[in-house]
A and B are shown apart, each in its own frame.
Chain A
């Protein structure tokens, strides 16, 4: 145990090196390739955002790295090096010294992720006693300090409370306190704000960022929301169909995204500066079937810019102008082929937007005259 601890804190080189990582699930339908050959490294103290739709493999990726997927029917291959040591395939017994102590995870739903029948104090104290052998008084004092770190008011009183007595935001703070308890070097946050109110989301993300800087901890932030990672990560990895499709430093990515998929993800976030009634861009179709993924580029069937080659041949990761920017596309954003097609796409979008606006204006005018009931307008909205 102690050997690994000194390794993680003192060894040089990247904290996490993932090479050709694959997580496949044997099911009755066939082999589900949830994570299919992912490679990246993460430096210590850095935050990586892993972005993708549901079913892109982002949650499975984070759980695989942490070694939490050990059920039967799970096939793992590739390599996960943590602080220079290979940890993929280690038994739960060997991983237990890493879990909670070197690597910690914050789960998506604070409502279901805390033990409903255990007092909050005991849930925070538990890792302290397991990993650091802290006597119970010290552990309690540490728990109170941790709760204050994550800005939980009346920390002493909360020790004796149960999760159901706290709000969602407070419970997520408790989860963060539990995760931070033993001072991990690596924190996984799996959709940490998805289940929370919008007003609380920013607070939680800021809190994670602040703790990362204070503790020089690496963070992998898993989310479906590009907006969440924009202000809170150093790098972004975009996943699609179990593959890494684009990865770049956060600023570079937003300034110069290459994958049409990344662009569509960004477009599907509503923007405040657009006129009202602008139709929210969606990505047509559904994420690929991970048992029988498409032959060529996995995004091609849903891509407005796909050409014949995209359906036949899968692109490899290309390096962009920035050396740390990689993407998996034959006709990336900015290429001549992309621009040519983009003219058509934009024209189509503009036509659609104009039609929607005209319909809205018409409806407003009609209702001003009062000759068409509102319900009828709504029902026939598409035809107007």
Chain B
């Protein structure tokens, strides 16, 4: 119980600090928030409308923040006057593509990293391990944009399966599984390859340590087959760094999504954030970052719970704490 309340407190502190900083940052970038929201040189009517909707915008920041917070938690996620779209409608339209892309990127990342990491550790310093090491360092040092261009050149232009630059659009998997795959595979791969590179290294390092431990020697001495030693005994003890890294990469994914969404589409929240920044659409910037903060903190919370699922000793310690 103490553990849960501690985590909740942490969550609120992080949320408030980050959203306040974002608010300050948007106001620094905007000399006249009301005019910017209204879309620059526009009629007094438009400005009056903004002020009517958000009367606190010309108050001091410390007065603005609690009012914004109250709006946010009561479901008023801002409004884009230039796009004539409410924050809520914007999220309904833009969040699903990004969520799917992030989800598939993580799936692809893990699907590559786990077998590669396990096998690299098993055949440590062998040809496969060395090859995987060079390949992953290459991918780690490549930004998503470079991977995206490489995929465009190597896959998209040579097959007619996938839409080309900027052509990917959002199709839900339940509407058309094949359409979903066509539109999401290449952007997700562009993000997932970098993740796979990082994660396979983490897993390999942890597996190497685990494989030297006494209980692995005991498993071997019991006559357990190498495959079973690796997957049943060693892997579970070696995933803590990997899980941690998955949580940390969630925030990095958002950065990657901005680039990949602009390059291939489908146009999701990353693309919308860039557009909002260009337009100084400050209420939308605030809403998107606030939602991202919630997402990142939630991801970390899930990871924390996963620790306890993986390791009974952590479960035990938390029960006592």
23 A-B pairs, CB-CB below 8 angstroms?
A: A68-B221, A92-B226, A96-B223, A99-B221, A99-B222, A100-B222, A100-B223, A109-B214, A112-B213, A112-B215, A113-B217, A115-B237, A116-B215, A117-B236, A117-B237, A117-B310, A117-B311, A126-B222, A127-B223, A130-B223, A130-B224, A130-B225, A178-B218
**Chain B contacts for A66, CB-based, 8 A:** 221
Whether A115 contacts B215 by the Cβ 8 Å rule is yes
Given contacts A100-B223, A130-B224, A131-B223, contact A114 B215 (CB under 8 A): yes
Whether A100 contacts B221 by the Cβ 8 Å rule is yes
The verdict on B220 contacting chain A, using a C-beta distance below 8 Å, is: yes
Smallest beta-carbon distance B216→chain A, Å: 8
Q: Give the nearest-CB partner of B316 in chain A.
A: A164
Interface 1/0s, chain B 45-70, versus A by CB < 8 A?
00000000000000000000000000
The size class of the interface chain B forms with chain A is 20 to 34
Given contacts A116-B237, A117-B312, contact A99 B223 (CB under 8 A): yes
Smallest beta-carbon distance A282→chain B, Å: 29
Bound Cα distance from A66 to B220, whole angstroms: 11
Interface residues of B in 187-238 (CB under 8 A from A): 213-215, 217-226, 232-233, 236-237
Bound Cα distance from A23 to B177, whole angstroms: 59
The verdict on A107 contacting chain B, using a C-beta distance below 8 Å, is: yes
**Chain B contacts for A164, CB-based, 8 A:** 312-313, 316
Residue numbers of B with Cβ under 8 A of A are 213-215, 217-226, 232-233, 236-237, 310-313, 316
Residue numbers of A with Cβ under 8 A of B are 66, 68, 92, 96-101, 103-105, 107, 109, 112-118, 126-127, 130-131, 162, 164-165, 175, 178
CB within 8 A of B223: which of A97, A114, A115, A175? A97
CB within 8 A of B233: which of A68, A103, A118, A130? A118
Smallest beta-carbon distance A298→chain B, Å: 28
Given contacts A116-B313, A162-B313, contact A105 B223 (CB under 8 A): no
Smallest beta-carbon distance A125→chain B, Å: 11
Whether B237 contacts A113 by the Cβ 8 Å rule is no
**Chain A contacts for B222, CB-based, 8 A:** 99-100, 104, 126-127, 130, 178
**Chain A contacts for B213, CB-based, 8 A:** 112
Whether B311 contacts A126 by the Cβ 8 Å rule is no
Bound Cα distance from A208 to B221, whole angstroms: 18
**Chain A contacts for B225, CB-based, 8 A:** 96, 130
**Chain B contacts for A99, CB-based, 8 A:** 220-223
**Chain A contacts for B226, CB-based, 8 A:** 92
Bound Cα distance from A162 to B226, whole angstroms: 23
**Chain A contacts for B316, CB-based, 8 A:** 162, 164-165
